[in-house]
Amino acid sequence: MRELGRRSEAAEHPFKRPSPNGVRNAPPPPAVTHDVPLILSEQIGQRQVIVAACPAALELGMTPGMAVTQARALIPDLDIRPGDPDADRKLLDDLAHHAVRHWTPTAAVSGPDGLWLDLTGVAHLHGGEARFCQRLVRFCRRFGLTGRIAVAGTPGAAHAMARYGHDAVSVLRTGSEAQALASLPPIALRLTSEAVTAANRFGLDRIADLLPLPRGPLARRLGIASVRRLDQALGRVPEPIVPVVPEEAPATRLCLLEPIGTADAIEQVIGDLLADLIRQLQERGRGARALILTVERIDGSEQRFSVGTARATRDATHLARLFHLRIERIDPGDGIEAMRLIAPRTDPLGATALAGNLADEDAAPDVAMLVDQIAGRVGEAALFALAPIESDVPERAVRRVSPLDVPHGWPAWRRPVRLLARPEPLIGVLALLPDAPPRRFTWRGKIHSVVAGDGPERIHGEWWRRDGEVWAVRDYFRVEDDSGARFWLFRRGDGVDNATGDLSWYLHGLFG
């Protein structure tokens, strides 16, 4: 809403519970907290070990690497869930690619739980290192992630402070790495388990104990790799970061010998651009989902036009037909001297089955092209399908999906074809309590006499969402008036207990 520049106003909740003191703007109930410690487990050999633990579990001594049987013996009601390292790795890869596109050109995955970000030359673009760290903390909080950030002159020092430091955000001055790392354990230098065991055996409990030791004896005790890690953290040995390289979007560009301005010439150039782009997509085994055409005029200005497809495609004829709908919007001005075509969104595209069997039966029609053509005329937002959601509340029971999706899991009970965006109140309702449908009601200034009715279908509030829905009840009725129109009405409350609703009537949908 901030990007749209519009105001958002609170709307009345679908379930209302009358307040005993008449105050409607009551403070929200406190958030529900879960005190049961949570850990993630992974099968390593014949053992189930802990790979991650929540803060409550860490306070109880359940560290990663501990056997799950030992943790369960300490806390019987422990919440144990299987870990998914593949999903974690994919999330880190996505974050690294996001960082390359938005924050810094040099970013890479750091182990199973972190990222490298090289801020050299880009920190001033984000208001400085401290402000950039605050921005990263808010970014992680929006996605439900807990982030610890450290900025240092070397990757090793930043790695150690982010994982073993005492502050959630640490910004070290250049040259202060040795002083900051002195109080941390040797494991913060990314030493091997054998080196950490040797350091403990020799009484080297802190990095400060390693600093005054000569390099020769230290290498004999802990290994040459440990000395290299120490030198990398202190900046004595460089440690390059191998950044991720985002895949470049397929693109092509044509510079024209002479400026053009007619629709036929523009359509011809678009066809040539599509031929080059389709060749690139074939080499990558992908299909276009979105295309952006940029028209460069001789006065230096540009125009951009985009088309989208409901399914990945490499059909040049179909894509040209979609751009044909946009040609009338192109303003050539004094002439067009160059045109660019880029596919910012692509999906894998392999072989397509034309029929499900070897008989002479016709294959199911493919409506993807029809959807693309209609969307090109009326807009993509106008085409959608409805899919069910596991909720009894009608406002929450459906969602919009792609028009090519085939939703499953529709409930067995009937629902109206048209559901109003918000239930509309009814006046002049005549009905017998508690279970009889209304005999007469007034909606939008018109009186409707009911000749048939069915119900009630009772729907309770979802108490786990909001405290005000603990006792809320709706009784729905399907009614038909004397003109044959059929409506879906509901009454708030069960007609017995006042806490369930105020017995007001609303129209929520229309059948047929």
CA 45: distance to chain centroid? 34
Cβ(244)–Cβ(224) under 8 Å? no
Cβ(426)–Cβ(490) under 8 Å? no
Torsion of CA 81, 84, 88, 89, to 10 degrees: 160
Q: How far apart are alpha carbons 106 and 243 in whole angstroms? A: 5
**What pLDDT was estimated at residue 8?**
32
Tallying the residues shown for the chain, one arrives at: 512
Q: How far apart are alpha carbons 448 and 442 in whole angstroms? A: 6
Least Cα distance to 270 among 289, 292, 297, 288 occurs for: 292
Spatial neighbors of 380 by CB under 8 A, at least 6 apart, are: 308
Q: How far apart are alpha carbons 49 and 43 in whole angstroms? A: 7
Cβ(147)–Cβ(136) under 8 Å? yes
| pLDDT digits 0-9 by tens, 157-173 | 999 999 888 888 889 88
Residue that the structure tokens 């990398």 belong to: 232
Which two three-digit tokens encode residue 156? Answer: 């090793």
Give the residues of the chain that fall short of pLDDT 50.
1-34
Q: How far apart are alpha carbons 177 and 175 in whole angstroms? A: 6
| pLDDT digits 0-9 by tens, 423-458 | 999 999 998 877 889 999 999 999 999 999 988 889
CA neighbours closer than 13 Å in the CB half-sphere of residue 211: 15
**What pLDDT was estimated at residue 26?**
40
**What pLDDT was estimated at residue 5?**
36
Cβ(156)–Cβ(189) under 8 Å? yes
Cβ(423)–Cβ(505) under 8 Å? no
**What pLDDT was estimated at residue 451?**
93
Which two three-digit tokens encode residue 317? Answer: 């004829």
Which two three-digit tokens encode residue 113? Answer: 């739980």
